[in-house]
Chains A and B, each alone.
Chain A
Amino acid sequence: MIAYSTTAIYNLFVREQAAEALDQQYLPQAEYDAILTRYPVNFYSPNLFIRIGLLILTFVIQLFSFGIGVLLFQSLSDIFLAGLAIFFALLVYVALEYMVKTNKHFRSGVDDALLWGAAGALFGGISYITKAGDLANCILVFIIALYGAIRFADRLMSLTAYIALLGIVFFACIKLGPFVKNFLPFVVMGISALIYFLVKRLNSFTDNHLYHQCLSIISIATMLGFYAGGNYFIVRELSNELFNLDLAPNETIPFGWLFWVFTFIIPVIYLGRGIQQKSSVKIRVGLLLIAAIVFTVRYYYSILAIEIYMSIAGIVLIVIAYGLTRYLKIPKHGFTNIDLGSADAVAKSQIESLFVASTFNSQPADVGNTNFGGGNFGGGGSSGEF
């Protein structure tokens, strides 16, 4: 089923586990080395940055290879070019299988780019020839992405498959007529919940190491999808847009109160369950969605100006964080404020510093349009945007 060698994936899984144990100093180095020799991994998986480079270049090669094909047959009709895209997709797919089977590429950037290139060309070609509508497009994406996810355990493919599935449900409900349309939010929530529990079941199988990353991505997506299905803002604005309700600004939708309840209660449940189960994934999703509550409320009931909200929210967040820091000075109830991660603090703050540099406005406002500083460099420019 899976294209990569299952033994090698299992060995990689064991190595990751051992590395984690070594990192937390449960294992001596000698035992770790013994594990490495006993569990060899023959994959070609280069460094992350090299992977990015290989990914970009493989896309460039594919693009221009297809371009040459188009140049050769440019006089022919569009349908023929769509057929060429499908043929191209098959070629790329063969190359992908070859790279994986013979050259043992595993998340090397090359296999990622070939997989996405093949999937994209296949979808484009078929969709163009069949003149597919919304529903058919979603079904097509779902089939291709599901295949990609199963065969290559690609995380982004599995996420795409889930989103396409939601799309199928969405367009199918719209097609089924006005009665079913009313239940659309509940159908989306139901499907998401169903997949969430299905994924949980799948995760309990012993050989889940093949797909555990795909499954955890999908489970996060279903948690978000479940909330999106019940969020007042999304339901109201989408139904207004799609079903031409022409709601007045302060008019509500049928069952509006129910969606307000969902809007408030789901993030709290996620957060609560996360704290109870000590699941950092649920805690993070819960925190993210609490921000969604704030945005939803503020959208309909804006009493104060945005900057007042920002300032108040900022102060509240700082106070909460301060309180938590004080509270967790000594670890309590299985929670700690100490960073248990492996990467050292300098590396993390390097990344963080880039966020700081790009998000904080570090230029004094309105210092003037002309900048006379830096006489050495000819007076400095004025076209830089502050």
Chain B
Amino acid sequence: MCFEINICTTFNYNYIEMNQQVFEQLRNEGLIADASFANIKTNQEHSLLSVHWEIKTLLYLGVLLLSGGLGILVYKNIDTIGHQVILLFIALICGGCYFYCVKNKKAFSIKRVTAPNTLFDYILLLACCTFIIFIGYLQFQYQLFGNRYGLASFFPMVVLFFSAYYFDHLGVLSMAIVNLAGWLGITVTPVSVLTANDFNNSRIIFTGLALGVLLIAMAWATRKRKIKQHFELSYANFGTHILLISCLAAMFHFDSVYLLWFVLLAVLIFYFYNKAMADKSFYFILVTTLYAYIGFTYVVFDLLDKIGAYNLSILYIGFLYFILSGIGLILFLMSTNKKIKAV
């Protein structure tokens, strides 16, 4: 996968300053032509420093602080200042931001559309955040959707998905996916997917499974239909995690028939592993391997438990299992690494 290589370079990013001595040596060895050397030398002397990511970070923090601040402001003053004033203020920001986006956007295409400028992505982000605050406020104060609470989160979700596709914004797409999950009653943000959900609740588990299947299907359709193909990774990422976590949760929760769930897990792992190999995706290889390891370990320990409950020698076997399986998995990952790189 091309963007995965780039994710790696982004994380491995070391500030590389070009070292003239090295290039002088390379020229003396006849490895680079004088023209290339001159090229490097002049560019060294007139080098430009990019502050692109610094500006982006400032914008990101600005939008984060402003939308957070407004959110708290509304929450705290919900009874004091006039509701209309607050609503108007938020609506103005939201409307202004959307207006800017509509005015400045490039023509819609089902392919990837780059943002017209650095600012655009963040203005859109602010528009979406203030819109959510606006709807939430309306619902709280005026019961816009009455008791149909589902609708109160369904409506912003539709707007988010629409904005993500219409303006081509990956961040808004992720927000929309999080919102979709929230509408179904589960939390899928990367930080709190494990802590905020009660996976002892069978309804949550089934919802998670269904959501995972839906997202994987979206990822598949995105690629198949060639509609905003760069959105595939977002769907696949959320989908894989929520599906495999729900499947593991099902194994632990329905422990009388856990082997059935283990078979389902194995089928899913088989599918994801093959897909990852076909896409040459190291990330999904790692993810599927670790989920498979957890599931398999559960089965092993359940069997050990059945053989001799809390016998000391079982403990030794358990520890040995971790050591040997660890070595086995290391060899497996190393050979997979080699296989992907060889192709």
- A residues bordering B, Cβ < 8 Å? 13-14, 16-18, 20-21, 24, 26-28, 31, 34-35, 38, 46-50, 52-54, 56-58, 60-61, 63-65, 67-68, 71, 110, 206, 209, 213, 216, 278, 280-281, 283-284, 287, 305-318, 320-322, 324-325, 328, 331, 334-368, 370-374, 376-386
Contact = CB atoms under 8 A, between A and B. Distances in A.
B246 to A, nearest CB: 12
A376 B189 contact: no
B7 A350 contact: yes
Majority secondary structure of chain B interface residues (helix, strand, loop or mixed): helix
11 contacts: A47-B340, A58-B330, A313-B62, A321-B55, A336-B49, A339-B52, A362-B128, A365-B136, A367-B152, A368-B139, A373-B184
A54 B95 CA distance: 50
A243 B29 CA distance: 63
Interface stretch (B19-27, B215-223, B258-266, B267-275): B19-27
Given A360-B129, A362-B179, A283 B170 contact: no
Given A356-B175, A360-B64, A351 B10 contact: yes
Contacts of B289: 53
A306 B23 CA distance: 53
B46 to A, nearest CB: 8
B179 A339 contact: no
Nearest to B177: A357
A320 B184 CA distance: 39
Interface of A is mostly: helix
Interface of B: 2-4, 6-16, 18-19, 21-23, 26, 29, 31-33, 36, 39-40, 43, 46-55, 57-76, 112, 114, 117-119, 121-122, 125-126, 128-129, 132-133, 135-137, 139-140, 147-154, 156, 160, 170-179, 181-187, 189-192, 196-198, 201, 203-204, 206-207, 210, 230, 233-234, 237, 282-283, 285-286, 289-290, 312, 315-316, 319-320, 322-323, 326-327, 329-330, 333-334, 336-337, 340-341
A71 B316 CA distance: 8
B236 to A, nearest CB: 11
Contacts of B233: 350
A21 B51 CA distance: 19
Contacts of B154: 373
4 smallest beta-carbon distances between A and B, as pairs: A314-B66, A373-B150, A310-B69, A317-B62
B50 A358 contact: no
Given A61-B326, A318-B122, A347-B3, A360 B149 contact: no
Contacts of A27: 32, 36, 39-40
A372 B40 CA distance: 63
Given A344-B6, A354-B190, A54 B330 contact: yes
A367 B139 contact: yes
Given A54-B334, A314-B63, A373-B153, 5 more contacts: A316-B62, A349-B121, A354-B174, A380-B150, A384-B181
Contacts of B65: 310-311, 313-314, 317
Contacts of A348: 6, 10
Contact of B43 (A24, A61, A306, A376): A24
B119 A53 contact: no
Contact of A308 (B69, B125, B153, B327): B69
B54 A287 contact: yes
A47 B323 CA distance: 23
A365 B135 CA distance: 9
A17 B172 CA distance: 37
A337 B139 contact: no
B183 A371 contact: yes
Nearest to B207: A377
A209 B14 CA distance: 12
A226 to B, nearest CB: 20
Nearest to A337: B52
Contact of A325 (B7, B55, B171): B55
B201 A343 contact: no
Contacts of A57: 326, 329-330, 333
Contacts of A26: 36, 39-40, 43
B31 A38 contact: yes
Nearest to B179: A362
A378 to B, nearest CB: 6
Given A352-B171, A368-B152, A71 B67 contact: no
A383 B136 contact: no
A374 B174 contact: no
B333 A53 contact: yes
Contacts of A367: 136, 139, 149, 152-153
B29 A47 contact: no
